[in-house]
Amino acid sequence: MTDSHQTAVSDDVSIPANATLYAAVEFILTWHLPWQTGVKARITATEPISGGCIHTAERIDTTVGTFFLKSNDGAFLPNFKAEAQGLTLLAKSGTLRTPHVVKAVGTEEYSFLLMEYIERSDDDERTPTFWEDFGRNVAALHHRNNKAFGLVNDNFIGALPQQNHYHKEWREFFIEERLEPMIRRALDTGQLGENAGKRFERLFPLLDDYFSDEPPALLHGDLWSGNYLADEHGNAVLVDPAVYYGHREAEIAFMHLFGGFDARLFDAYNEVFPLFPDWQDRIATYNLYPLLVHVNLFGRSYWSGVEATLRKFGV
């Protein structure tokens, strides 16, 4: 039973009942920082940060440091908890920097993810070997392997649920955990018609023996140009992950979808962790998934890329 003066907010955190969002942040900073011992934390300034399309983002200056706050209504706590888990998993890989997570917290009225604030460098302040180091570190991330494709928990890509049930074979995972859920959603919402679903049914048998044989690799899962930044030292930082253990070619393909990554990154990656010679032939197939995500999020303007790939397979 919860104390009448407390509001349960997650598995291991309770905040004072009727606390405002900022009061809850101060409570977490007072009692849930490793270097804090109950000395009252106080917010001294807040600054909105642009760029997010789902959550409110703010820089929070406090008496115990500067932090990054993402907030939304209470229904988004699962999203924030999944993001916290993903950032923590990436951090444990010891490869690329990610923001340190303080807590993911929520009530019926609001939820938030509180984490380290990282000062950004401008493009001209990046290290001279920014892209090469980035590529080698992505390769190191992809060397973190698992016994099966998937993840212990489901998570989100953007605002959409992303299911991660384990599979031994990549083809099965790609079809059952990536393509089929997005196709069903698009059919249910009317973004796609019945004929589109039938075309995918004809595609799936053509993917037998199609993918290169690779072990499950730890992936960021949503690695486009908006989900990395350069920190105060000019080095790459990963944010907003949708992590799972997948085929590393899927990550490389996604990084090509919208651009924003220098060729030096891919050259350095390939030097330390060579891809199969024909990997580029499969880029469009892997990108069926992020394109279907975008169809569901933003509409049929993203269908043309899907259409081109389906036609390539003759379905």
Indicate the DSSP class of residue 146.
-
Specify the length of the chain in residues: 315
Q: Is 122 a known active-site residue?
A: no
Work out the end-to-end distance of the chain between its first and last CA atoms, rounded to an integer number of angstroms: 57
Query: Maximum CA pair distance of the chain?
Result: 66
Task: Outline where DSSP puts E strands in 6-133.
Answer: 6-8, 14-16, 43-48, 56-62, 65-72, 101-106, 111-116
Beta bridge partners of 246: 217
CB 9 within 8 A of CB 106: yes
Q: Which helix (H) or strand (E) holds 3?
A: none
State the catalytic residue, choosing from 73, 133, 213, 222: 222
SS3 156: strand
CB 71 within 8 A of CB 58: yes
Q: What are phi and psi of 19, to 5 degrees?
A: -70, 140
CB 118 within 8 A of CB 99: yes
CA distances from 127 to 107, 131, 223, 226, 279 (A): 42, 9, 20, 19, 29
Q: Which helix (H) or strand (E) holds 266?
A: helix 263-272
Which single residue is written with the structure tokens 């990436």? 90
SS3 211: coil
Q: Locate all alpha helices (DSSP H) within 98-203, ordered by sequence.
A: 130-142, 170-173, 180-189, 194-203
Residues with catalytic roles: 222
